[in-house]
Every structure is written in C-alpha cells, then in structure tokens.
Structure 1
Amino acid sequence: MELGLKGKVAIITGSSKGIGLYTALQLVKEGASVTICARGKEKLEEAAEFIKNETGKEVLTVSADITNEQECKKIIQETIEHYGKLDILVNNAGTSSANPFESVDTELWQTDLDLKVFGAIHTSKAAIPYMREVGGGAIVNVTAVLGKTPPASSLPTTVSRAAGMALTKAMSKDLGKDNIRVNTVCIGLIRSDQLEKKWKEDASQLSWEEYSKDVVGPSIPLGRIGETAEAANVITFLVSDAASYVTGTAVNIDGGSGGTL
C-alpha cells in the first residue's frame, strides 16, 4: 500500500525514545522529513543518530519543553525555517503518573495537564496555520486506553488522557473544513522504559519474551505486551494519505485489553 508520505514534513513531540522515536523512524522510512523534539538535548542527538544509522537520513532536532507555550511555538517555527512547510503533527509527549485522588496535589495536577493537554493545544494551535497553507494536514494525539475506563489510583494521568480524547474530537469537528484530520491513539501496555524497569525488578530471571507472554500476557487477549514499533505503525497509517477519510477517531492499541471500543 502506498501511504503517500514522500515529501511530507512531520513533527513528533516526545520523540527521543519509545513510541515517538519509532514513529519518527517509520515516517523517515516512508519518505517524510521529520523534526524530533524533547527536553534532553543529549538524548535527542542519540535518537537522531539512531535514525540516521537505520535509514541513512538526517532529522531536525529541537530541544524544547512542551509545557511552555513559547517553546511549543519554537518547535513549529524552527521546522518551518528548516523544511519550509508542515503537514503532520504527532503530540506524543507525556509520562505516566498514577496515584490515589487524595494524594495528588495541585502542582502535580497542573504539571500533568500542562504536559499532556496544554502541550498538545499549544503545539497544534501553532501548527494549524501552516497546515492550511499546504491544503490540509494530519494531527495525532497520543493518549491512553485507561482514559476511557479509569481505574482507582490512576490520577492525574487518566484525567489528562480523557481530556486529550475530548480535545481530539472537538478539533476534528472544527478543522475538517480545512482538510486537517485529527485522531487519537489510546495506548495500552506497550514496551517502554517503565515496563522494562518493572520486568527487571519483578522477574529478572525471565527473558523479555517470557515476561511479556507468561507474566503479563494472560491479562491481554493477544497474550503479550505490544512492541513499540506496532504502535508506531498505527500512528504512521493515521497520518498518511491511506487514512484520508479517518478523523475524530480513537484507536485502541492495547492487544484487546480495553473494556471499551
């Protein structure tokens, strides 16, 4: 299938590792020009080197704090100055913060909302005028499947992720007239630094494959933890021309573990 990504320009936030990094890698492989951004300059350079080693192509790196509106604007501006246009934005920056309601103080609420909700808002708002200039674009907001069915002691993450889903739907309604599509992917258990740390703490005698299938797998219909590249592949599809009639949709990437569609 031809994805129609050759010549497109994309920004992926939170892309020095994990899903963001592998999404950047996949987009570069498909012929897109990519900006990767995160707070840590050293990690960004390592990510850029990884992509270059895998593809032979260079990406633009922008060190920025997504919780700061001016730095969100800086990401967009540096991309425009370097590539001349913008077609795709993946709002991936975020961390997991899961606590009982009464233990979450005001500062943590604000930090989480600034990163996961306002970061996406500010970056999208700065990107949209440039997408209009090229006749349309695609935005993917990365959220979490638990935002649909929050369990106990899952705050503030599940609230921020639920807000991200509502933001996605509302944006898709407003921006459809401009041919700007907005979707969200709801992440379940996907291989990450946090999961690998838990594996090494709880079951270091097992291989990753054994831990994925035998320890965690029984709780997931597909029987294993998802791989980072599998999430990246879905995001790549959603920002591509192959998904040209898909907008306002939340796609679970969770191996079937979620309790809702």
Structure 2
Amino acid sequence: MSAQDTNQKFKLENVFNVKDRVALVTGGGSGIGLMATQSLAVNGAKVYITGRTGEKLERVAELYGKNIPGQIIPITADITSKESIKKLADEISSKESKLHILINNAGISSAHHTTEYEDPKELQEELFHNTTTFEEWENVMRTNVTQLFFTTTAFLPLLNKGTEEERGWSSTVVNISSISGIIKSAQHHFAYNASKAAAIHLTKMLAHEITSSKLKLRVNNIAPGVFPSEMTANDSDEKQKSTIPKENFEGKVPADRPGKDEDMAGAVLFTVSNQYLNGQTIVVDGGYVLATGTV
C-alpha cells in the first residue's frame, strides 16, 4: 500500500463512517436521543427511533428525515416493558437482517431534594418523610437501568449479524448515562444519580460478559454533562429542540456553557465508529467532572 493510499484511512468519511449502517435509538424524539439520531442519519445511516409518543416520533421523521443521505423511521414502543421490547425486536427483525448500532438513550429524572439542612431532624424530614417513595425509586431504576439490560440482550442476535456481515466492523451498543453517575454529589436527586451510576457499571458488565461469550460486539456509554433536553429545560419547541441559556452556566463549568448538538454529535460518531473502544465511559461535560471531582 502506497503512502497516498494510507492517507485515505485518515479521511473523516472513513474514520467516522456510518454510511448504510442500521441503527436503533431509544428516546429518539427529543434531546440527546434526537441529537444522536441526526448524527447518524445525516451521515448516511438508517435510523429507527422509538418512544412512547408516536406523534413526537413522526414529527422528528418529518422535520429531520428529508434530503439527507440516511433515513429516520419511527416505531412507537415502551422500553420499560419486556413484552414491548420483544415486540420491538421482532418488528425490526422483520424489516432488517442485521443491526449495527443500538443507542439506549431513553431515561427519566427523579424528585428534587434539598440536601443542605444541617439539623438531623430537618434532613430526615426532607429525605425520609417527604413524598419520595420506594415506587419512585423503582420506576427510575426500571427506566434508567433495567431497560438497558433487556433492550441490549433482546437485540444480541441482530447485533451479532451486523458484525458477521460487515468486515472490519463490530456492532456496538451505546448507553447514554450521565456525569451524575460519576460524581459524589447527589445534585439534589438521589434516585437519578444512583441509577446513572448503575447504568455505567451495567455497561462494563455487559461489555465483559458479551466479550467473554466470544461475541464481537462493543458496549460503551456516553456520560453527558448538561445538554438541552426536555429533562434539563423542562420542555421543547415545535422542532423538538430544547434551549438552556448560556449565561446559566457561566462560571459553573470550565466551558462556561451547556453542551451543544454538535458536541454530542462528535461523541456519538466517535463512540459508534471506533472499533478499538469497548467497556468505556466517554465523558462529555464541558469540564464539570474535572472541576467538581468524582466518587
């Protein structure tokens, strides 16, 4: 191979090539899920998006699926139900012989707690006697952790086919976790942070066990800082996009701003394309963890 031929390997379209890949993004109707969807579809992937609200998914396909190299295909599904996950896997299996990319993005937040009380009675009142229940913790874990396990394992055969049929490619699972699962602060929501820590560890366990089973699949997770989404901004506009004022984060993170769509796009394309990446946490947070410290 000549030096000039070697140079071709370093072109962006080769290093981050997702053309003709088949992908599934859960929670693809807004926020980080929509960012991931656009990252892949605009660069030539066929992307199935799921969520509980069909209207929202259809709007994403209508708005962002036109005049692009790839496709965006909506399928309504509830990934907190094992039966619904099986139905989703069966439906995609009926349409596709393989799956190259699975992005487990769907998630929810949890109740806000005031943790600054110094009196033990006041702290007890806030953390024990308030409206938080076992059921809320279970719901957060079900949505942010348990479904990662069942969605990933439901698609193992299709993902394995993606590896077998594409030379030089190993299919990949990307779990969207959070820096909230890395830092020691509860950030006023214990259940959410605990669930994201569990999601990060589940990623490592899945990566290890899948590799131990001799399957050529990669499992990684992206741990975002604050990005605009319905969770962080409380709503989205008519284009399914959310906004967080830049000034809200000046002096709070080294980057002095929340994350942008293109910041997440770069992280997604890197994580799904890098064939040497497995069992890792990709932190994209504007330096928040750097400034606050970890567990």
Specify the TM-score bucket, using the shorter chain as the normaliser: 0.7 to 0.9
Residue 231 of structure 1, CA deviation = 1.4
Pick one of 170, 175, 190 that aligns with 1:141: 175
| Superposed counterparts of 1:1-261, under 5 Å | 1=12, 2=14, 3-53=16-66, 55=68, 57-100=70-113, 101-102=127-128, 103=130, 104-134=132-162, 135=164, 136-152=170-186, 153-176=188-211, 177-197=214-234, 211-212=245-246, 214-240=247-273, 243-258=274-289, 259-260=293-294
| 8 A Cα contact 1:192 1:228, kept in partner | no
CA 1:111/1:195 → structure 2, altered by over 3 Å: closer, same or farther? closer
- Between the aligned partners of 1:51 and 1:197, the Cα distance in structure 2 is 22
- Between the aligned partners of 2:17 and 2:178, the Cα distance in structure 1 is 27
Answer 1 or 2: which has greater helix percent.
1
Structure 1 unmatched runs, 5+: 199-207
User: Helix, strand or coil: the match of 2:277?
Assistant: coil
- Between the aligned partners of 1:75 and 1:27, the Cα distance in structure 2 is 20
- Between the aligned partners of 1:197 and 1:131, the Cα distance in structure 2 is 34
User: Helix, strand or coil: the match of 1:4?
Assistant: coil
CA 1:54/1:115 → structure 2, altered by over 3 Å: closer, same or farther? farther
Moved >4 Å (runs of 4+): none
- Between the aligned partners of 2:37 and 2:179, the Cα distance in structure 1 is 22
Residue 166 of structure 1, CA deviation = 0.5
| CA RMSD after TM alignment | 2.0
What is the TM-score when the length of structure 2 is the normalising length? 0.78
CA deviation map 1:169-207 (0-9, x unaligned): 111112233121111111111122344459xxxxxxxxx
CA 1:78/1:60 → structure 2, altered by over 3 Å: closer, same or farther? farther
Which structure's CA Rg is the greater one?
2
Structure 2 unmatched runs, 5+: 1-11, 114-126, 165-169, 236-242
CA 1:237/1:171 → structure 2, altered by over 3 Å: closer, same or farther? same
| 8 A Cα contact 1:60 1:79, kept in partner | no
| 8 A Cα contact 1:19 1:232, kept in partner | no
CA 1:225/1:247 → structure 2, altered by over 3 Å: closer, same or farther? same
Residue 124 of structure 1, CA deviation = 0.3
